[in-house]
Structure formats: C-alpha cells, structure tokens
Chains A and B, each alone.
Chain A
Amino acid sequence: MPKYKLKEGIVLHPNGASSLIDNSNLTDELAEYFLKTGKATIDQFETEQGGTRKEFKKNK
C-alpha cells in the first residue's frame, strides 16, 4: 500500500500548467521528491484518521 496519497480534489502541477500529478500517477518516490523540493506541501496529502501520517512527522 502506498505511503502517500493526495487529498481528494488535489492535483499537482510540478512542472508548469501542462504537467499533472494525481493519485493515478503518484508514487511514494515522487511524493517524497515533491515534498523535498517544495513542489508539494504536506497538507496536500491525506492524513490518517484525522492525524498527520507518521511518515510525514519523520520528514519534518
């Protein structure tokens, strides 16, 4: 099961308007890269049972 999932309705445009990342093409490797490079923020990803996922806390 993937560690990272975008919140419903959230899509990323990491490389301009023509680029698109949603849950269908998101991988954990890409999610971590987007978080590391500031192309995505933690609050764009789903939380688990109302709390931030454990993995996110490690990254902080």
Chain B
Amino acid sequence: MAIVYNIVDIRGVAAEPVIEEILFENKTVSEGYVTFEDDIKAETIFTEGSATVTMQAYTAGAPASSGSLTAFDCVVTPVKVQFYQEFDPNTIRFSRFKRDIKAGAWEILSSEFERIMIGGVYAKKISADFENKYWNGATTATKVSVAAGANTVEEKAQVAAMPTTLFDSITTRLIWNACNPTMTPSVGGRVNVAGVTITSTNIKTEYDRVYAAINPVVLASQFMPYLYVPHAHKQLINQYNNVATNFKDVFVIMNGKYFLYDLEIKFVPLPANVIIAAPKEHLFWCTDLVSDINKVQIDKIALNREDMFIKTNATITSHVANQVYNVLYTG
C-alpha cells in the first residue's frame, strides 16, 4: 500500500505542523516563466512566418517580382500522462490524523491528512515533477535520433544522460525537433554555444558567451529574453559576487530577482551546465488545462472496498518557436 507511516500512538499532543519535504516551488507555472498554450486537446497548429523584401529601381512599366513570403505549420499534440496510487486509509486510524476523522466506523478519511499529505506534499510533488520534466528529459525515440544525428557532442551528451521521459523537454526540443517547413525531425535551429562545466569562478565568462550569442535584434525587441539557468547557479552567482577583487557585483540582485546586464535570470530545473537564453514568448508549455496538474482525484477503488486511490490526469508537451533567435548553451 502506498502509505508508509511509522506511527507513534498519540498519548499527548502532536506538534501542529507536519514537517514537509522541501521542494522547489513550480515557479514555471506559478510565475509564468514560459508561455502557456492551453485548451489543446490534440494536433494544434503553430504557424511561423517570415518574409524577405527587395528594394528595386522604380519602373513605370511592369516591375519584376522579388522577395518572398514564407510560412510553415508545426503540429503539436500534448502527451497524456497519469499519476496513480492506492492506499488504505485504515493506516492513519492509529496516527495523529485520527483526531479529525469524523465519528463513526464508516468515516475513514482525515481532513488534516487530505490537506497536508495529499493536497500538500503529494500534489506539490506532482507539480514539481511536471516542472522537472518540462525542462529536463527526453523520450527514448529522441535519444536514439540525437545519438545518431548531427548535433554537437555536448548536446548529444546532455540528451543521452537525461532522464527518459514520456515527452521531450524544452531543452531537448531546442536540440532536436520537427518544427521546420518539411516537418522532418532534425537538429534544432537554436544558436548553439559549446560550453564547459560551470563553476563559481567561470560563471561570468560563460554567461557572457551566452549573452554575446544572442541576436541583437532580440535584445532590441519588445520580447526581452530571460536567462534560464539551473537552480544550482544561484549559489555560484552569489559566490562569484562575493569575491572582493571583482570590485563590484556583476550580477545585480534586486528584490530577490537576479540580473545579468539587462536580462533577468530565471532559476529552473535544467540539467547542470545548460543555459537557455530566449524570450518566454518562444517557449511553450502546451496542455489541455494548466490547472490539471494541481487536480487530484481521491475516491474508493470500488464501492465494496475500503481502500482508496489518488489519481491525476494531465496532458503536457513542450514547443519552441522562432528557433534561430534562441540560444542554447550546453556543457
């Protein structure tokens, strides 16, 4: 059964807070770090367009046609996933949670247990799992394709070592995707920066290489890129800033937000030594309904049984747009 609980019989008073596992809050969702494209059941089309123009000499007669108008479609279908486990609520009858189980042998559920363990720890863990897999993971099929493809060895190493997941993370999508005019899976159109292992000593140098690789037109556009970096970089940045001989803080920290030059840094569960520089408008979290990841169904397994199940259904996939304007650093 799913509940593993080393219980102490309650004789006195239980300390009020149940000490929960510490998790990274899913800020990708709660603070909207990327673009959420919801209401996608299946096969939603993303269209990208571009044009070339040619100035030519005036003629009073028939002008020659020059330039191009180009567009292509990319079909995106989120993957349907599920979390499911069963448990016997009788396990908690001997625990602190018995205090708010209603009177009567038919009553088996504790509101405190539902609030803290299911609505709290369990639901947060599911949300964190979605976020982890959005940033870090690749399907078995994509791993095979990338290993045999024309990506850089740094990118191949990243994808090979990623957790095997049911959909491609945004990092993998930048490396390998079918969002091109022929819809043929191939090397992504990202600006590639070959990286190294990032430490508190070289972090400024390596971030500078990413910054320099950003197309200047992006920095001048209405959609300023973010620097998406692994959570562990917060420590490296603070350590770098604390080196007295640097004379000033290179990384500016204001109200808990971190900046390099004019770019805000977002800490997300990327693999180590990966940095993405892209406007959030280019990175999509595609789903049917964003709030699905927070919805947990809890019920009896069958009417003639007392054990219960917890289930979450959701759909998710990643999509990257305007690929040539996104920078991917892999080390």
Q: Does B196 contact A (CB under 8 A)?
A: yes
Q: Does A29 contact B (CB under 8 A)?
A: yes
Q: Does B272 contact A (CB under 8 A)?
A: yes
Contact B153 A15 (CB under 8 A): no
Within 8 A of B (CB), among A22-54: 25-27, 29-30, 33-34, 37-39
Q: Does A16 contact B (CB under 8 A)?
A: yes
Q: Which residues of A contact B271 (CB under 8 A)?
A: 15-16, 18-19
A35 to chain B, nearest CB (A): 12
**Interface-centre pick from B157, B158, B160, B272 (highest chain A CB count, 10 A):** B157
Q: What is the chain A residue whose CB lies nearest that of B158?
A: A15
Q: What is the chain B residue whose CB lies nearest that of A30?
A: B157
Q: Does B190 contact A (CB under 8 A)?
A: no
Q: Given the complex of chains A and B, what is the CA–CA distance between A16 and B157 in angstroms?
A: 12
**Given A15-B273, A18-B271, A27-B147, does the pair A34, B157 have CB atoms closer than 8 Å?**
yes
**Given A16-B230, A27-B147, A33-B154, does the pair A39, B197 have CB atoms closer than 8 Å?**
yes
B143 to chain A, nearest CB (A): 7
Total number of A-B contacts with CB less than 8 angstroms? 54
Contact partner, A18, options B136, B143, B147, B197, Cβ 8 Å: B136
Of the four ranges (under 10, 10 to 19, 20 to 34, 35 or more), the interface on chain B belongs to 20 to 34
Of the four ranges (under 10, 10 to 19, 20 to 34, 35 or more), the interface on chain A belongs to 10 to 19
Contact B136 A30 (CB under 8 A): no
Within 8 A of A (CB), among B272-331: 272-274, 331
Contact B156 A25 (CB under 8 A): no
Contact A37 B136 (CB under 8 A): no
Q: Does B71 contact A (CB under 8 A)?
A: no
Q: Does A10 contact B (CB under 8 A)?
A: no
Contact B161 A25 (CB under 8 A): yes
Contact partner, A30, options B156, B196, B273, B274, Cβ 8 Å: B156
Give the 3 A-B CB pairs with smallest separation, nearest first.
Answer: A19-B161, A16-B272, A15-B271
